[in-house]
A and B are shown apart, each in its own frame.
Chain A
Amino acid sequence: MVMTMRCRCGRKAIYHRRQSGQYLCSSCFSKSIQKKFLATIRKYSLVEKDDKIIVGLSGGKDSTVLLHLLKDLQKKRPFTLAAIIIDEGISGYRSKTMTIAVKTCDSLHIPYHIFSFQEEWGFTLDEIIPDLSHCSYCGVFRRYLLNKKSRELGYNKLAVGLNLDDEVQSIMMNLLRGDLFRFGRTGPYYRDNPAFVPRIKPLREISEKEIMLYALVNNIEVDHSVCPYAQEAFRTDVREFLDSMESKRPTTKYSLLRSYDRLFPYLHRDLTCEIGICQTCGEPSVTPHCKTCQMLEEIKSRKN
């Protein structure tokens, strides 16, 4: 016979936080997530009075939970909150997630802005015949649009739903690729550059599983579908490796993030380079032509 595990408050536990050994009921679990979120905000002063924050919203669990948590925070602190939704043009996937994103904004009374690859460049992600993986194009184009449009709309911070798993995967991927420039830019904050809207990552210390659980126990509607291109990603291999390590040693991901964060001030100082302006589009770039313009040129030349 199995004994039902109890939270320290006496209620039935629904979650075993293996990193700390705690058993938590749904109520204590939710409070612990809100506390972690606020602790990250405070630690790096991510949200300040009168900030104009725009959330990169996909309709998936991470960005939707982030929007809910920021909306709750807005009740206590005065700042402007909106959402930006990017339609990459992935048939059978993005329309579903966008429906949820729009519904979430409407229900929370949050203004939103939609931009698409089609409107901006005249093609969808599906239409690209890739040299690289679709994810490589998608990531570059999406980040470009998020930054450009957020800046043009006058927001001073772009909040993204990157979670603990995303962060440690990026750290590992950049190390495995030997990409030290990017390795030095996965931290909790960035040196100010007027061309870049600073990205804030209030969920970076919360695991993907805990975000999913938070959405479930708080009845937050999210889309659970997986991008049809996700299996192409190098990220999937790194994810498998880290999950397997975490399963054997439950503090692996936190330890990796903590170690990285301790190194970050040095990496940020010594490994980043000067940001210039792309000669083609005028957006920020470390090379004469930004990655977006290079990819657009490559797509155009393949079409001709």
Chain B
Amino acid sequence: MKVTIISRSHGNPEPISQTVEGETLHDILNQCQYTIEQIIILRGGQIICEDDVSTGDTIELLPVASGG
């Protein structure tokens, strides 16, 4: 599976885009230093299930952690 990941690092409003390849979505998230519990996935601005991500997709990762 190969997907383009858009993410925003904390304190940096500019999105970072990178293409990541892995056997599963969990592998891909792992490479981005996330677990599935730590993010919400959006595709085209819509929230989607992790099972709906397919190869070639461009997805945005929204980190769940905020606050103190």
Contact = CB atoms under 8 A, between A and B. Distances in A.
Given A13-B49, A16-B51, A217-B47, A230 B37 contact: no
Nearest to B66: A224
B36 A247 contact: yes
A227 B38 contact: no
A42 B7 CA distance: 39
A239 B65 contact: yes
Given A213-B47, A243-B38, A247-B26, A227 B67 contact: yes
B67 to A, nearest CB: 4
A126 to B, nearest CB: 14
A4 B53 CA distance: 9
Given A18-B36, A207-B37, A246-B37, A225 B66 contact: yes
Given A13-B49, A226-B11, A208 B68 contact: no
A293 B24 CA distance: 53
A212 B40 contact: yes
Interface string A1-45: 110110000000111101000010010000000000000000000
User: Which has the most chain A C-beta neighbours within 10 Å: B40, B52, B54, B62?
Assistant: B52
21 contacts: A2-B51, A5-B52, A14-B46, A23-B49, A61-B66, A62-B67, A135-B68, A208-B64, A208-B65, A209-B40, A209-B64, A213-B47, A216-B62, A217-B47, A222-B66, A225-B10, A227-B67, A229-B68, A243-B37, A247-B35, A247-B36
A1 to B, nearest CB: 7
B16 interface: no
B19 to A, nearest CB: 18
Per DSSP, are chain A's interface residues mostly helix, strand or loop, or mixed?
Answer: mixed
Contacts of B62: 212, 216, 224
Interface of A: 1-2, 4-5, 13-16, 18, 23, 26, 58, 60-62, 135, 138, 207-209, 212-213, 216-217, 222-230, 233, 239, 243-244, 246-247
A249 B4 CA distance: 27
A2 B54 contact: yes
Contact of A14 (B47, B53, B68): B47
A172 to B, nearest CB: 15
B48 interface: yes
B50 A16 contact: yes
Contact of B37 (A4, A13, A216, A247): A247
A230 B54 contact: no
Given A5-B51, A226-B10, A239-B65, 17 more contacts: A2-B51, A2-B54, A15-B49, A16-B51, A26-B47, A135-B68, A207-B37, A209-B37, A209-B38, A212-B66, A224-B66, A226-B11, A226-B67, A228-B11, A243-B37, A244-B35, A246-B35
B36 A14 contact: no
Interface string B31-43: 0000111101000
B68 A227 contact: yes
A60 B51 contact: no
A222 B65 CA distance: 12
Given A16-B50, A226-B10, A60 B66 contact: yes
Nearest to B8: A224
Nearest to B48: A14
Given A1-B54, A216-B40, A230 B35 contact: no
Contact of A212 (B52, B64, B68): B64
